Amino acid sequence: MVYDIVMEPNPMLHRRSEDVDVQKISTKEMQKFIKDMVETMYVKDGVGLASVQVGKPLQLCVIAKNYNSLNNHEDLCLINPTWTKLSIRKAWDEEGCLSVPGVYGKVKRYLKIKVKAFDKNGEPLEFVAEDFFARIIQHEVDHLNGHLFIEKAKDLHKIKKEL
């Protein structure tokens, strides 16, 4: 099932999402939701997707396998994710968002972070993410905490999608 994307200025996008009960990760409903999130991410041409963007304000996001530095054969699901910086260095790079279509801007993010979360099987996960992988995670965790990239971006501009 492909979900509709929740668009700015929906107030849901500006509230912290609820923690996921780890005991419920293995349920059929949650597993189907994760699968549908991944399908939605690909259909909507995203590299990552936070559950709040499909109308379910849970601490859950998915990242496309092509950008998963842990295992590029598998899409990554992060449940109740947190991160801490491992470098003082930050870099500016352009970002966009499915919830703010056609708008792009430069955002400064840490280049190296340590991530803690649960995976799609409810197993604890801890890893280091760098560069674009780290940027995607920071962007998605911002969503889960009620923040959009446009709040911290500079040089915001619109690009019309070619038909």
- What residues are labeled active site? 140
What whole-number distance in Å separates Cα of residue 64 and Cα of residue 73? 10
**Which residue positions form the known binding site?**
97, 139, 143
The total number of residues written for the chain in this structure? 163
- Report yes or no: 60 and 51 within 8 Å, Cβ to Cβ: yes
Residue type, 22: V
9 forms beta bridges with: none
Closest CA to 54 of 63, 67, 64, 44: 44
103 token code pair: 């708008």
**Which residue positions form the known binding site for Fe cation?**
97, 139, 143
